Structures are given as structure tokens and as C-alpha cells.
Amino acid sequence: MLTEKSEFSDGITCAKTQNSTLILSHELAIQSPILMNLYFFLSILHAWQLIKIITDQAGGARISLELGSYMSENGHLMLDFNVWITFNIAQDDLDKYRVWMIDLACHTRAKLRQEAVALVIDGAMSFY
């Protein structure tokens, strides 16, 4: 059970447990787009499911809503919304969680019929 969490100047997050100290040195985040079309309610439900799955697996997460922009093929400014689910893990869990997050991104891409879904691992963004 986590009892205390501290962020240090070098970016390492430290969570103290009842019996030991756990270093959560890696940060992972996944994008869940909110679609402004017929898939709006499906995308809201999918974001909720991702939040629940990740919170369950990682023990907690930070959720943020982002307003993004891009240029359409015909040169018009387009806006979109994304839910970002971010969490920290220990060094020993990085490989396991990297594969798991790629699977979640690919599932999200297929379910919401997107060109790509973004993952951020330790500040490096990749699209799947």
C-alpha cells in the first residue's frame, strides 16, 4: 500500500510503501482520442475503459484533457480532443509495460478507426 509519494529534481518519482521504498523512474502515457463524429460516445466509453484498465494494472494514473489542432487535407484548421492517461513504473517493469501499452495503442487505433494512436515513454513519442 502506498503511503507517500515524492518528486525529486532529477525527475525520479519515489513512492514509499509500508515496508520499503519503490522507485518509479519511468513515465508512460497513452492518447485516447475523443471523436467529434458518430463515434463520439464510443470514444468516451473507450477512454473510460482505458483509464480503468491502466489504473487497475498500474495502481493509479493521471488523467488530462488536451485540445489539439492539425491542418486538414484541404488546408482548414481542425481541432480535436485527446484524453491522456499517464502513469509511472519501476525500472524492472519497463519492458512488460512497453509491450502492454503498444497492445493498448493498437487496440485503440483499430476500435476507434484512427490512423495512429500516440504513446509517450520517458518523453519519447511514438505512433502505433
Of 33, 97, 36, 19, which is closest to residue 61 (Cα–Cα)? 97
- What integer pLDDT is reported at residue 24 of this predicted model? 87
Residue 84: CB atoms within 10 A of its CB come to 17
Task: Give residue-wise pLDDT tens across range 66-117.
Answer: 999 989 999 999 989 999 999 999 999 999 999 999 999 999 999 999 999 9
pLDDT of residue 20: 63
**Predicted confidence band of residue 23 (pLDDT cuts 50, 70, 90):** confident
Residue spans of alpha helices (H) in the chain: 40-58, 94-111
Give mean pLDDT, residues 34-47: 94
Instruction: Give the residue-averaged pLDDT of 42-55.
Output: 96
3-state helix, strand, coil in the chain (%, to 5): 30, 45, 25
Q: Are 32 and 85 in contact (CB under 8 A)?
A: yes
Q: What are the residue boundaries of the structural domains of the chain, listed by start?
A: 26-127
pTM for this one? 0.78
Quick one: which H or E segment has residue 118?
Answer: strand 118-121
Which CATH entry fits the domain spanning 26-127: 3.30.2170, 1.10.287, 3.30.70, 3.40.50? 3.30.70
Q: Which residues contact 6 (CB under 8 A, 6 or more apart)?
A: 13, 14, 15, 16
